[in-house]
Structures are given as structure tokens and as C-alpha cells.
Structure 1
């Protein structure tokens, strides 16, 4: 495993680039990012403060009072040199996300299906049939970018983003699907909504999903949504 480029983000952070940062999205490169992150977490060096995986890069935050950046670079080079020679468990989970598709919960479902040349039911079924991977968390706290979308469901973003997207919205943007953790502006196509709280700063782990997790969407009805929403 090699880094195509390495840069210093700050006095306490380094960024390792493992592949191209531009589309098309490379799932194999993203898997390498998560394997490297797992190796570093397993080693648990005392100076490590945080790891932030992205699609093709890994940010490594360290304690500058405990170690010099050059020593961190040498240590990371050794991890990269080992490549995939040792198997390290990524600790990934498979999490089910209940979703009401369409109607007031996913106002773009019908138009998206029409654009794709399929029925709304077919779009729902194909979206829910996938097993997705949290490639990275970004854009907003707790927003998961999910790889694994059926290429036939890829849709361009809206020409004019909405000023308000409801919290929990499930959406398609390009070749990705994702979930809006809180109300915010956004330009992805809204196809459904989950009652789960994707980000809660009062929880021990504020983000429900973490990079490397696997995700399954499970279709539910509005009554089930109301019950679950009241319980969360």
C-alpha cells in the first residue's frame, strides 16, 4: 500500500492521499483507506488524537507535544509499507435504516423514477436492495456519503438546491446516496426519510454512522415512522 501524495495540514495533522480525489468514485481505494485507518487504530500509538477517512485520503491528527511531525510521517510510512500483508478487522457494523419512500417523505421519488425510466416502486425496491458502505462523513456533522448505489439509479443533483431539506431525508446525488442528519439546504434528490436521529451531540458517539459501516435501507410505512419517531 502506498500513498500517492502526503501533505501537512497543520502543526498537528497530516493528510495521506491513497488515490485520485476526483470522480469516478473508486470503491477499492476507499476500502484501502478504511483498512489503513483500522491498522492505525489497532496500533493505537499514544500520540494519536483522531483519524478522519475520506473517499481517497486519510487525515491523521496527532499530539504535537508528544511527537514531531517527521516522526509521525516515518511511522505512517512503515504502516503503508506493510500494505495489506496483515489482516486487521475494520470493526464495521451493518446498520438497518428504516425509510418511508415517496410522498411527503420523499418528494422527488416520482420525478426521479420518471427520469430514470422506471416506476417509483422499482426505484424504491432497487434502492432498498443495496448494501452500502459509509465511505466518509462530511458536508455536515453526521452526514454519511454512501457508496454502493446501483449505477442505474444515479441522478444529477438539482439545478437549484433547496433552502430546506428535512432532517432524516434519504437522497441520491450523482453516483452516491446519503442521509441528511439535520435540516439544512441541499441539492440531492429526496426519495425518502428515516425517523432515526443521525446526529445527536449529547450521545457518547454523536454520529449514528461511522466510516466503514455497512448500511441497509428497510422500507416502512408512515404509521411505523410515527411510532419510531416518537420513541427516538
Structure 2
């Protein structure tokens, strides 16, 4: 497997970003990122190790551990090449495609030269992997999208995307855990709750989980 050499950058005095992302997301590299996160989080002085898409943000106390020590530990652990084996859950997400909750579906399909039924078929066919959770509470970055559905984000972001919006942005699929602005294309809506701050476990999904979208309805 070819890979980019790790890039490290300080993000303030108490955080470092470890980045191996290339032009195309790699599930194999992501499994190594998960392993790296588990290993570096055990270091004294490290408070958080948050996986992103083929990258890792490490937050630490600079009074307890030197930045150079954190960076060297990341490079040393990465060179070992350990891969995490996460036994994630399979989570089904029922989606109502099109209509008021999926307002971009007709134009999205037309742009690709497909009918809406074919877009839904291709969107529901894969088993998606939760590569990372972030950007907003409970937001899942999903790998596994059919590459024929990969579409650049909207030129003009929508200022209000409803919680539960099922979307595509670039080569990724996602679900809005809260109501917020987005430039992603909204294909449908789900009632599944991805983020509940009152719950014992506030987020529905964790890295390594698998998601299957199931079409509950389709409104043209």
C-alpha cells in the first residue's frame, strides 16, 4: 500500500495534527489511524486523540509532556504499522428519500444523468464505514459511497439543513445530527437520532460501526 509520509503540524500550544491523507480516502490507513489513536492516548499528558479522515488530532498538556515527545511518539507508533480491528455494530438508517426532506434529490439525479430510483438504489447498496465522528456533535463521516454518486458540494451552502438530513458531499455520505448550515446535497431524511445530549451515550455511532441506509419511502 502506497502512502503519503506523515505530516505533523502544531495546532496551538497543546495540540498536534498527524496527517497522512491523500487525494483519495483510504480505509486501510483509517484502521491504522484508529490504532494510533488508542496507543498515543495512553501517554501521560495526552487528554484526547480524535481521529479524522486519515488524520489524527492529539490534544495534550504542554506542561506535562513536550510537543516534541508527542510528535516522536506518533511517528514511532506509525512506523510499526499496527492496524486496529474494531468490531463495530451494524446500524440501519431508514430514509425517506425526496420530497420536502430530500429537496436536492431531483436536481442531483439529473446532474448525474440518472433517475431518482437509480440514485436511491446506488445510495442504499453499500455498507458504509464510520471513519470518524466530528465537525459537530454526532456527525458521521462515512466511507463507502458509490463513486458514481460523488459530487462536489453546492456552490452556495444552504443556511439551514434540518436534523436528520441524509446527504452527499464530495465522495462522502453523511447525516445531519443537528440543524445547521451545510453545502452538502440533501437526498432524504431519517428519524434516527444521532445525537442526544441527555442520553447516557450521547452519540449513536462510533468509529468502526457500519451503516446501511434503507429506503422507507421515495417521493419524486
Who is 2:176 aligned against? Answer: 180
Give unmatched runs, 5+ long, in structure 2: none
Pairing 1:48-63 to 2, within 5 Å after superposition: 48-63=46-61
Who is 1:13 aligned against? Answer: 15
The structure with the greater share of residues assigned to helix is 1
Pairing 1:1-232 to 2, within 5 Å after superposition: 4-20=6-22, 23-40=23-40, 44-84=42-82, 88-221=84-217
Give unmatched runs, 5+ long, in structure 1: 223-232
Q: 1:174 to 1:74 in 2, by over 3 A?
A: closer
Number of aligned positions between the proteins: 216
Give how far 1:179 is off: 0.9
Q: 1:160 to 1:17 in 2, by over 3 A?
A: closer
The alignment's C-alpha RMSD in Å is: 2.5
TM-score by length of 1: 0.80
Mapped contact 1:2–1:80 kept (Cα < 8 A) = no
Q: 1:81 to 1:57 in 2, by over 3 A?
A: same
- 1:212 and 1:51 mapped to 2: Cα distance? 15
Give how far 1:178 is off: 0.8
Mapped contact 2:31–2:84 kept (Cα < 8 A) = no
TM-score by length of 2: 0.84
- 2:93 and 2:112 mapped to 1: Cα distance? 24
Question: More displaced, 9-18 or 67-76?
Answer: 67-76
Question: More displaced, 23-32 or 171-180?
Answer: 23-32
Give how far 1:148 is off: 1.0
Give how far 1:3 is off: 5.1
